Structures are given as structure tokens and as C-alpha cells.
Amino acid sequence: MTACTPELQQLGEDGKPLPKLYDLANQDSATVQFRVLDAINALRSSAGQSSVSLNAKLTAAAATHSRDMSLQNRPWHFGSDGSSPLDRVERVGYEQQLVGEAISETFETELETIAAWMKKPNTRNVLLDPMAREIGFSWYQESTGKIWWTLVTGGPGLSQEAVMVE
């Protein structure tokens, strides 16, 4: 009979259910990254965009920023040293153009985070940007369970001809 007993949810001070801990320490990071890649490519395909691939340098830039946001305790695009997303991809030696960056501070899974990004025009545009050819995706999880997600997109720069065309 104990299997039929419903599990009671813990409630926070505000009366809302506390989030369940999504423990990334027990996840294989490559599995998480490829799950994200598959989800983003499915969304891009539905939007008529080309697929993207994972890039180790962009992932390194994303990982650095996720940890730094945790240290700063705020989700924003600038590092504690004043660095921008462009600075971070240059530091890791990424030779193509930065296309965009999406960030989040949450207790949600990677797929729930992508769903939230798709609901907002600015982050949806980062995921679906036609210039994107590669992504970097990483996170940092605090002992409290809070997760700091960073997704960075990159691709080929515009040629001089493309810039000059009206």
C-alpha cells in the first residue's frame, strides 16, 4: 500500500511548492549537452534553419560564464571582470563570429530552460538565428541546487560583399 500513497510536496514560505532538485552531478555532461543540441536542432529545423554543432571553445566560454554568474549571484551577460560575451569567445580562441548568448538562473532542467528561452523573443532569436552554425552550452550548479545556464552561438562572419549589399 505504501506505493499508492501520494508523495507530499514541500512548500516554501510563500506557500508554493519547492522545486525538486535536478542534480546535474549525477548526469553525464556529454549526454546533457547532446540532449540540448538535439532539442535546439529540432527547433531550428521546425523554423526552417540549418542545424548547429557543438563547439568545444564555445562550450569553454559558456562554462566560464556560468560559474562567474554564480560568483556574482546575478544572471547577466557581463563577467565580474567586465568581460562581454565577445571578450569571452575571443579568450578561448574562437576564430569565427559570436552570434549570441542566452543565460538563465533556475532550478529547471536544460530542456525546461530551452522551453523558457523559446517563450521570449530575444532568447528565441539567439537559438534560431540563421547565422548560427555552432553552439557552446554549459552550466554551473550550486550546492543549493540553483543552476546557472549559458548557451553561446557562433558562426562565420559576414563577408565584405554581404556587408555592402543594400
User: Three cell numbers at 24?
Assistant: 546535474
pLDDT: is 15 or 157 the higher one? Answer: 15
Q: What is the pTM for the complete model shown?
A: 0.81
Q: For 59-95, give the DSSP string.
A: HHHHHHHHHHHHHHTS--SS-TTS--HHHHHHHTT--
Rounded Cα–Cα distance for residues 110 and 156 (Å): 26
* Percent of the residues in the chain that have a pLDDT greater than 70, as a whole number: 85
pLDDT at 12: 67
